[in-house]
Amino acid sequence: MMQISESNNQRHSLFSAMNRFIGAVNNMDQIVMVPSLLRDVPLEYEEKGEVNNAVVLTGGNGAASYLTDRDMYSYYVLLKSIRNDIEWGVLQQGDDRKKEKLSTAVDICRVDPQEEDENLQKQFHFHLSGLHTVLSKLTRKANTLTNRYKQEIGIGSWGQ
């Protein structure tokens, strides 16, 4: 796969973060030939201090997923599910979408237009930053899982 060099600004873009994550999950998917071997194998963390930090994600089905106390197979399924949500979109159920639109419409009526624009920009930057952070963590998890799988099946230095 050909890699295009990124400028410093591009490296911090959401598009680049999504591409890195999708690339890491695609690599994981190509390396992991027998996903069932991942069952009951704990994922050891390469980063210090991340063992005690729980990251909560909401997948396409609306269920919260915690990234602690999971085996490698659970991470494998979660990472592939998130990749599919990014590539194909998240399907919301009809009732959830109606409630979301109704609450948004009520909130918009309460705020004057100038405050709304400023608030929207702040919300956008807050969520963009959070999304970038989560995608970076998920990319590291996919890379860690891939490397651990290689170690487990004895091809630790293969492909490096």
For the segment 14-65, what is each residue's pLDDT rounded down to a tens digit?
999 999 999 999 999 999 999 999 999 888 744 444 444 444 555 454 444 5
**pLDDT > 50? residue 124:** yes
Residue 71 phi/psi, 5-degree rounding, is -90, 170
| Cα–Cα dist 35/85, whole Å | 20
Q: Beta strands of 4-159 (E only): which ranges?
A: 56-58, 64-66
Take residue 34 and report the two structure tokens written for it: 């027998």
Q: Which helix (H) or strand (E) holds 104?
A: helix 94-110
pLDDT in tens, 58-97: 545 444 454 456 899 999 999 999 999 999 998 766 556 5
Q: What's the mean pLDDT in 108-118?
A: 68
What tokens does 109 get? 């009526």
pTM reported for the whole predicted model: 0.67
CB 80 within 8 A of CB 21: no
> What tokens appear for 97 in the block?
């979408």
